[in-house]
Amino acid sequence: MIRLKTIILFAISLIMASCDDVNEPYGNQVEIDAPTELTKKAVIFEFTGIHCTNCPAGHEAIAQIDSVYHGHVIPISVHAGFFADPYPGEPDFRTPFGDKIFTDLGLSSTPAASIASLNENDAISGAPTSWQGEVGSVIPDYTDFIITPDIQLQDSTLRARYVITERVEAQNPLRFFMLIIEDHIEGPQIGSDIDPYDHRHVLRRCVNNINGTQVNLTDGVDELSFTSTLDANWQTENLYVVGIIVDQNTKEIYTGEQVKLITE
């Protein structure tokens, strides 16, 4: 009897030990360290449209990802494609940069996503429930490049200065993009009973050239400066500025850095 009890206790201990070894429980509800300047931020371009019936499922997937990996991800909602065309009197969330990357990724419908990449081979058409697993495959990780932003707002003029520091030597040319994001925009959304709908992380503008600005590293460092005038219809308190670094050849998004324009 004593021997049997010992065997049972040993079996239970093995089961508990195996449970402790599981790194990613169901839904990737993982615990990760708070982000630092060395943390790789996974930039997620989520493609959507106000007339896309299935797009609220994509919005929910992004909200779940942000709750799990908050601080390690930068979600950006891009309104592009046929279902993003507004009807008369509706807001137009489309942008030239958003239209370009939607086309470059070879997408034809929404919802869709591209995670830490602008390479068409990495674009995910539909399947929002798979997005979180894809995010979990690229983070947590250390970044190859550190982006240090200095963002200033005077009246409606936005001035940004970025210092880019190389931690791992770049193998290909790099492009830098500065984006303006607006959160919590009320508007219509097909496929949801919520009216007005709360649109999150909406891409408003690519400040520099939509093909990006070349990064020229000297002794592993480069500095870039940009200026932009904010649209009078944007809610300044809900604006974020995002800088991202992209490999010109592979289209990998190495990392990004997001700054809330007004913090009070």
The amino acid at 258: Q
Kindly state whether residue 61 falls inside one of the protein's structural domains: yes
**pLDDT tens digit sequence for 61-116:** 999 999 999 999 999 999 999 999 999 999 999 999 999 999 999 999 999 999 99
Kindly state whether residue 245 falls inside one of the protein's structural domains: yes
Kindly state whether residue 55 falls inside one of the protein's structural domains: yes
Query: What pLDDT sits at residue 32?
Result: 74
Percent of the chain beyond pLDDT 70? Answer: 88
Query: What pLDDT sits at residue 217?
Result: 97
Query: What pLDDT sits at residue 31?
Result: 63
Give the C-alpha separation, 70 to 1, whole Å: 51
Res 224 pLDDT > 90: yes
Kindly state whether residue 14 falls inside one of the protein's structural domains: no
Instruction: Report which of residues 14 and 196 the model is more confident about.
Output: 196
Query: What pLDDT sits at residue 34?
Result: 87
Kindly state whether residue 28 falls inside one of the protein's structural domains: no
**pLDDT tens digit sequence for 236-247:** 999 999 999 999
Give the C-alpha separation, 202 to 46, whole Å: 10
Res 136 pLDDT > 70: yes
In 3D, which of 196, 208, 219, 197 has the Cα closest to residue 243?
208
Q: How far is residue 179 CA from its own chain's centroid?
A: 11
Kindly state whether residue 209 falls inside one of the protein's structural domains: yes
Give the C-alpha separation, 17 to 10, whole Å: 10
User: What CATH number does the domain containing 75 carry?
Assistant: 2.60.40.10
**pLDDT tens digit sequence for 187-219:** 999 999 999 999 999 999 999 999 999 999 999
What number is the average pLDDT over the span 182-186?
98
Kindly state whether residue 187 falls inside one of the protein's structural domains: yes
**pLDDT tens digit sequence for 21-64:** 323 332 444 567 888 889 999 999 999 999 999 999 999 999 99
How many structural domains are present in the chain? 1
Kindly state whether residue 11 falls inside one of the protein's structural domains: no
Query: What pLDDT sits at residue 168?
Result: 96
Q: Which domain holds residue 180?
A: 35-260
